[in-house]
Amino acid sequence: MRSIRSKITLTFVLISAIALIVAGWITDYQIEEYQFDRIVTELNGQVSTVVSILQRYRTEASQTNDAAVLLRDIAARTAIRITLIDDAGNVLFESSLADSALEQLENHAGRPELLDARRTGMGVAQRFSTSVQSPMAYLARPVSGLASSAPFARTRYVRAAMSLAEIQEMQSRIRLIVTASILLTLMLVSAVAVVVSRQISRPIEEMDQLIKGVEQGELARSVPIRTRDEIGRLSATLNQLVARLNQDSIQLQRLETVRSQFLANVSHELRTPLFTLKGFLETLIDGVPDAALQKRFLEKAEAQANRLDQLLTDLIEISRMESGEMKPSVRFFSVNEFIKDVQEEFEETLKRKNQTLDVQLAERDISALGDKELLRSVMRNLLDNATKYSPEGAHVRMGALEKNGTIRLFVQDTGPGIAEEHQARIFERFYRVDANRSRELGGTGLGLAIVKHIVEAHESAIAVESDGKTGTTFWFELKSRA
């Protein structure tokens, strides 16, 4: 790694290898995911067909065999195993086995797809099947509405299964092709890198040899000029300098000056092509061949950048509060006008979720003591949470109540509520009752911490009330003046 040639070559190869491996991994993952989703869709369609067949039968007589024959015919034509299972996990029908062999089958109650189907309405699983000696994909759904006298009336779950052997074999072939393509591309990149690095380093090495010769008094030498770029111009300049030294060896003092200038010029001229090369490499690194994939990555990156921006903004605000840099500028302001301003600010947000904001104004024109803008941030955070966690079409309440010489500001939602064990900690930074849902809704986990700091800076306290099941109310009190 001491030569420019080796550095350029290795850089080309490493960048290309990383880009190709990442692209190959993403391609493999996408294809595998697509194939499995296609199988799940096909299995789900077959389950729907089987359920429809079972539901149309109303009597047992002479139809049990008909139903079994029809199901076996469907299984044979689609290469999909069909299994009927009762509520206890016993197999009532298996398309790949004779009826006499059903008693030898294990109870299926503990199979993952049945457990998920019982809990969520549909279960999907994949595993190696010892009965058919093949990796299989399974999909199970509960069935209802069967006549008590119909064929297989005890059926509670319909399961369809498909072999993954062909899919995995195809995936292996794709991986082999992708691997071969990566290796072939790396070989090509290596060859190109060697050529490019040679073109860049060769004149530099020749100039280096020329300079060493000049140091030993060999003034009749020169370097060939192969290009007209910066390196070619540098070679020409070097040749001119050496020729001048050869013509006028008497002017030693001037030679020292020229040498000093020459070194400065070399440094300058080398910097330009190296920076240009660096720009080319950065362009290669940033390049993505699939425009759709590039767009999706950019959108995800933008979403995360926006979240980080909001997170940093919140952290800075909290830091300023905790350091004492942000202090409330308190003065009396009209409570009802303040409530109306906040209401107008949230009109568009509420419309998007088809929600209604019920506002309760103070019974008389009363003023509260506080920093209006900081308190607006409090109400904005509380209302933002209320709208996020309340369902679409819900009613959200906000208002003011005069009480014992104080004014109480409150926000009430109709969301899932907050359990008592969480209520004491929800104002901590980054504490979330439901972390996954909070992130999906775009929260940074700092909103209520900011609320707490602002309210405490007004010599008050933020309170929360919830039965842990439905709805939550946040409130705080300020000094008032009639």
The closest alpha carbon to 375, from 301, 463, 477, belongs to 477
The closest alpha carbon to 47, from 87, 77, 84, belongs to 84
Which pLDDT does position 267 carry in this prediction? 41
In which region does residue 59 sit, left (phi positive, over 0), alpha (psi from -120 to 50) or beta (all else)? Answer: beta
Residue 56 covered by a domain: yes
Mean per-residue pLDDT, 311-331: 73
The domain boundary, picked from 170, 192, 223, lies at 170
Which pLDDT does position 217 carry in this prediction? 72
Contact, 108 vs 115, CB < 8 A? no
Which pLDDT does position 63 carry in this prediction? 58
The domain boundary, picked from 110, 145, 170, lies at 170
Burial class (CB in 10 A: 0-12, 13-18, 19+), 300: exposed
Residue 21 covered by a domain: yes
Residues 442, 388: Cα–Cα separation, whole Å: 9
Residues 273, 265: Cα–Cα separation, whole Å: 13
Residues 323, 133: Cα–Cα separation, whole Å: 67
Residues 476, 482: Cα–Cα separation, whole Å: 18
Which pLDDT does position 158 carry in this prediction? 93
What is the percent of the chain where pLDDT is above 70? 78
Residues 231, 376: Cα–Cα separation, whole Å: 63
- Indicate whether 327 pLDDT > 60: yes
3-state SS assignment for residue 313: helix
Query: Computed from CA positions of residues 272, 277, 282, 287, in that sequence, does the dihedral angle turn out positive or negative?
Result: positive
Residue 284 covered by a domain: no
Buried b (16+ CB within 10 A) or exposed e, 170-185: eeeebbeebeeebeee
Which pLDDT does position 473 carry in this prediction? 92
Contact, 28 vs 174, CB < 8 A? yes
3-state SS assignment for residue 135: strand
In which region does residue 129 sit, left (phi positive, over 0), alpha (psi from -120 to 50) or beta (all else)? Answer: beta
CA triple 441-444-449, angle to 5 deg: 120
Q: Which pairs from 99-102 meet CB under 8 Å and 24+ separation?
A: 99/68
Mean per-residue pLDDT, 346-355: 87
Mean per-residue pLDDT, 126-148: 84
3-state SS assignment for residue 324: coil
Residues 6 or more apart in contact with residue 7 via CB below 8 angstroms: 1
147 or 373, which is more confident: 373
Mean pLDDT of the chain: 78
How far from 65 is each of 61, 149, 157, 349, CA to CA, in Å?
A: 9, 14, 19, 60
Strand extents, DSSP E, 237-283: none
3-state SS assignment for residue 94: strand
Residues 356, 396: Cα–Cα separation, whole Å: 6
pLDDT band at 291; cut points 50, 70, 90? low
Residues 20, 224: Cα–Cα separation, whole Å: 38
The domain boundary, picked from 153, 170, 187, lies at 170
Residues 414, 401: Cα–Cα separation, whole Å: 20
Retrieve residue 155's tokens: 């059926």
Count up the domains in the chain and report the number. Answer: 2
How far from 52 is each of 145, 273, 307, 316, CA to CA, in Å?
A: 10, 72, 47, 60
Mean per-residue pLDDT, 351-355: 87
Residue 410 covered by a domain: yes
- Indicate whether 476 pLDDT > 80: yes
Q: Which of the residue ranges 58-67, 202-211, 277-286, 366-375 has the most confident prediction, judged by mean pLDDT?
A: 366-375
**Which domain does 392 fall in, by range?**
323-481
Q: What's 28's domain CATH number?
A: 3.30.450.20
Residue 70 covered by a domain: yes
Range from 10-24, 331-345, 380-394, 463-477 carrying the lowest mean pLDDT: 10-24
324 or 310, which is more confident: 324
Residues 108, 125: Cα–Cα separation, whole Å: 13
Residue 219 covered by a domain: no
- Indicate whether 410 pLDDT > 90: yes
Q: What's 354's domain CATH number?
A: 3.30.565.10
Retrieve residue 438's tokens: 């909070």
Residues 335, 442: Cα–Cα separation, whole Å: 30
Digit-coded pLDDT (tens) for 198-247? 777 777 777 777 777 777 777 677 777 777 777 777 778 878 887 787 77
The closest alpha carbon to 94, from 162, 156, 159, 49, belongs to 159
Mean per-residue pLDDT, 365-383: 90
- Indicate whether 265 pLDDT > 70: no
Residue 263 covered by a domain: no
Residue 202 covered by a domain: no
- Indicate whether 440 pLDDT > 90: no
Burial class (CB in 10 A: 0-12, 13-18, 19+), 212: exposed
